[in-house]
Amino acid sequence: MPALTKGKFFLTWIILILWSGSIFSQNPIVPPGVYIADPTARVWKDGKIYVYGSRDESPAYYCSWRYDILVSDDMKKWKLYPDRFSSKGEHDAVPYSDDLLYAPDCWYKEGKYYLYYCLANNTLTEGVAISDSPTGPFIEGTNIEVGKYHEIDPAVFVDDDGQGYYVWGQFNLKMAKLKPNMKEIDVSSVKENVLTEKEHFFHEGTFLTKRKGVYYLVYAHMGRAGRPTCIGYSTSTSPMGPYKYGGVIIDNDHCDPGNWNNHGSLVEYKGKWYVFYHRSTHGCKSMRKACIEPVYFNEDGSINEVEMTSQGAGGPLNPLDEIEAEQACLLYGNVRIQTFSPIEEELGKIWNGDCVGYKYLDFRKGVKRIKMRIASGANPGKIDIAIDNSWGQSIGTIDVPGGCNLKNWQTFTCSVLPVDGIRALWFRFSGEGEDFFRIDRFQFEK
């Protein structure tokens, strides 16, 4: 391994070790510098909720060769367990392949946890590994024979009668019965076109769950803007269908200018339901981060579409606390979330006319000023602070001088008009040229 690569690898592990003992909250639920996509959430017998997902590591390609796991007992604070399963390297658990690992799922049965993974491989896509612990490490990865159906994004569901189902595929969804050993499917039971792009807007990334006798298939939905930015759902009274299209649960469009897809799960925890999904960063299709929103069912079992927020499963953000700029849930224009150190992120690549939104902040204690940590660029720029929406009332303006190199951080302040209630916060950017400042964090003062 070259010295530079070895140094970067070591630094990454130091960061993960530090974070693995830490807790963090709000959206996204992963720490700065860590990118977990395709979040499948599971509640196990210890009462905690576990998130299994892909781990992005480069803007140049999706996913990586390992999985991390997130764990919480309150949906607000999360602990990261890094490198719990790998397809190559020091902790290689897939002896027959060194391919990238795409989206996983996990299930518990009779003292064992079964991790279902898929590989970027046209003939050995599906696999399963086993652990005595929900956080692994998962070992002994073995191929699952799926006949001619070598596709991606496995999901597993075991019904009340003990029968398990294996669900996977792109563009049209396949489903088969799992054998009792949880490591094989009955290939003769494979059913194609359980969901289709034409009828259900199905793209990929499925999750199967059950509520009040109704089966919900949750998946990446292709019905808006020609991209699978939505989490959609369809319902049935039988696990293998037929399924009736239900609608959209959440759309992550405008989470990042380079956003392409979505993938998630629908889970009940302590009597409340949540949708897990991901958002892009870095102005690219990959480098995605897991997020959560509460969801609500109507009397007929339908689900109301929810919006992306910065608060996630927690309450509104306190404006008197420091708020990291990368907690913006809506980005319009060229602006993006990016790293400026291995464990720090920022808003950068800001051009004239860009804007970002934060939902929601609780202003009921009152505020008089705002301060922002900013690194200014060559050209001057302006930050117009607004409430409610991107065209809402301006409550203050910060002028940022030019003549700098985007490297020196300074604190800028301005007075703001009185604000009350729980409100969305927006920053509108203007200036000459492009990339005229970077924002690290902000805080209101009384």
Q: Can you tell me the distance from the alpha carbon of 289 to that of 287, in angstroms, rounded to the nearest whole number?
A: 7
Residue 6: the pLDDT is 39
Q: Is the dihedral of CA 189, 192, 193, 197 positive or negative?
A: positive
Whether pLDDT at 2 is above 50:
no
Residue 9: the pLDDT is 40
CB proximity list for 8: less than 8 A, separation 6 or greater: none
25 band by pLDDT with thresholds 50, 70 and 90: low
Whether pLDDT at 308 is above 70:
yes
Dump pLDDT digits (tens) for 133-163. Answer: 999 999 999 999 999 999 999 999 999 999 9
Longest dimension (CA), the chain: 69
Q: Can you tell me the distance from the alpha carbon of 233 to that of 249, in angstroms, rounded to the nearest whole number?
A: 7
Question: Which amino acid appears at position 423 of this protein?
Answer: R
Mean pLDDT of 336-340: 94
CB proximity list for 130: less than 8 A, separation 6 or greater: 112, 113, 114, 115, 138, 139, 140
pTM of the model: 0.94
Name the E strands within 123-271. Answer: 126-131, 139-143, 155-158, 164-168, 174-178, 202-211, 214-221, 230-236, 244-251, 265-269
Q: Give the end-to-end CA distance of the chain in Å, rounded to a whole number.
A: 53
Residue 432: the pLDDT is 85
Tokens of 385: 């602070």
Report which DSSP code applies to 359.
Answer: E
Q: Domains in the chain, ordered, with CATH?
A: 28-295 (2.115.10.20), 323-445 (2.60.120.260)
The full length of the chain comes to 446
Dump pLDDT digits (tens) for 376-422. Answer: 999 999 999 999 999 999 999 999 999 999 999 999 999 999 999 99
Whether pLDDT at 37 is above 90:
yes
Residue 24: the pLDDT is 55
CB atoms < 10 A from the CB of 390, how many? 14
Mean pLDDT of 115-125: 95
Average predicted confidence (pLDDT) for the chain: 94
Q: Is 296 helix (H, G, I), strand (E, B) or coil?
A: coil
Tokens of 51: 């998130």
Q: Can you tell me the distance from the alpha carbon of 377 to that of 354, in angstroms, rounded to the nearest whole number?
A: 16
Q: Can you tell me the distance from the alpha carbon of 102 to that of 62, in angstroms, rounded to the nearest whole number?
A: 8
**C-beta contacts of 133-136 below 8 A and 24+ residues apart:** 134/42, 134/44, 134/46, 134/48, 134/50, 134/69, 134/71, 134/106, 134/108, 135/50, 135/69, 135/71, 135/81, 135/84, 136/69, 136/81, 136/84, 136/85
302 band by pLDDT with thresholds 50, 70 and 90: very high
